[in-house]
């Protein structure tokens, strides 16, 4: 399972990011969300959204094994075990592995909680089985 996005449907409202920070940290702070919205304005007038594909590359390089997999297959960060080494950040091709030590004492990423999908009014986000990528 993973999170999917249709950029064409995103309206840039950021409700997903508030919901995300609330789930991950119990805070109202979209800067601590695990997905990114990049507005492309005034031209071409679209939003680029970056979401986690649950590929697990971050977990593979984590020296403290702080990034674990839950029963639905989602990788999540066990905050207590993260040492802020940032090894995971460059591994993430989607650029949604975060270390911002001024904001949090841990790395963070999408744990596939689904709260972003619950608040998205335009249907831009959804969770589905990971599609096999053609070789």
Partner 1 sequence: MNGYGGKILRVNLTDGTVTKEPTPPDVARDFIGGRGFGIYFLLKEVPRGADPLGPENKLIISSGPISGMLIPGGGKCDWTTKAPLTGGYASASMGGHFTAEMRYAGLDSIILEGLSPKPVYLFIDNDKVELRDASDLWGKNTFAVEKQFKERLGEEFQVAVIGPGGENLVPYACINHDYGRQAGRGGVGAVMGSKKVKAIVVHGTKSIPVADKDSYRKAGMAIYKACKDAEGLKDWTRYGTTIVVSWCDEVGALPTRNFSAGSFEDGKNLYGPVMREKIVITDKACFGCPCPCGKYSRNKKYNNYVEGPEYETIGLMGSNLGIDDIEAVAQANLLCDDLGVDTISTGNAIGWAMECYEKGIFTKKDTDGLDLKFGNVEATFAVIEKIARREGLGALLAEGVKHASQKIGKGSEKFAIHVKGMEQSAYATHNATAMLLAYMTCDVGAHHNRSWAITYDLQVGRDKVVPEKVARVIWLQNFRPMFDVLGGCRLQWVELGIDRDLYVPALEAITGIHRSWEDLDKVGERIWNMTRLFWARENEGFGRAWDMPSPRFYEEAPKSGATKGQITKLEDVNKLLDMYYEQRGWTLDGLPTPETIESLGLKAVVA
The answer to whether residue 38 forms part of the interface with partner 1 (CB under 8 A) is: yes
Residues numbered 83 to 102 that lie near partner 1 (CB under 8 A) are 102
Q: Which residue among 1, 6, 39, 70 contacts partner 1 (CB under 8 A)? A: 39
Q: Could you say which of 61, 84, 103, 127 contacts partner 1 (CB under 8 A)?
A: 103
Asked whether position 13 contacts partner 1 by CB under 8 A, the answer is yes
Question: Of 106, 115, 114, 69, which Cα lies nearest the Cα of 88?
Answer: 106
Tell me: does residue 119 bind partner 1 (CB under 8 A). Answer: yes
CB of 32 to partner 1, least distance (A): 8
Residue 13 DSSP SS3: coil
**Residues contacting 13, CB < 8 A, separation 6+:** 121
Beta bridge partners of 127: 3
Quick one: which of 45, 80, 128, 131 contacts partner 1 (CB under 8 A)? 45
Are the beta carbons of 37 and 14 closer than 8 angstroms? yes
């Amino acid at each position: 399972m993973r999170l999917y996005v249709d950029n064409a449907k995103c309206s840039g409202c950021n409700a997903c990011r508030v919901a995300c920070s609330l789930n991950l940290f119990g805070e109202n702070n979209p800067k601590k969300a695990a997905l990114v919205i990049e507005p492309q304005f005034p031209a071409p007038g679209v939003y680029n959204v970056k979401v986690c594909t649950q590929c697990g590359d971050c977990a593979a390089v984590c020296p403290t094994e702080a990034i674990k997999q839950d029963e639905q297959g989602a990788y999540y960060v066990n905050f207590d075990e993260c040492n802020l080494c940032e090894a995971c950040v460059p591994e993430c091709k989607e650029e949604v592995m975060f270390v911002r030590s001024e904001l949090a004492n841990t790395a963070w990423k999408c744990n596939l909680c689904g709260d972003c999908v619950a608040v998205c009014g335009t249907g831009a986000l959804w969770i589905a089985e990971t599609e096999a990528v053609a070789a």
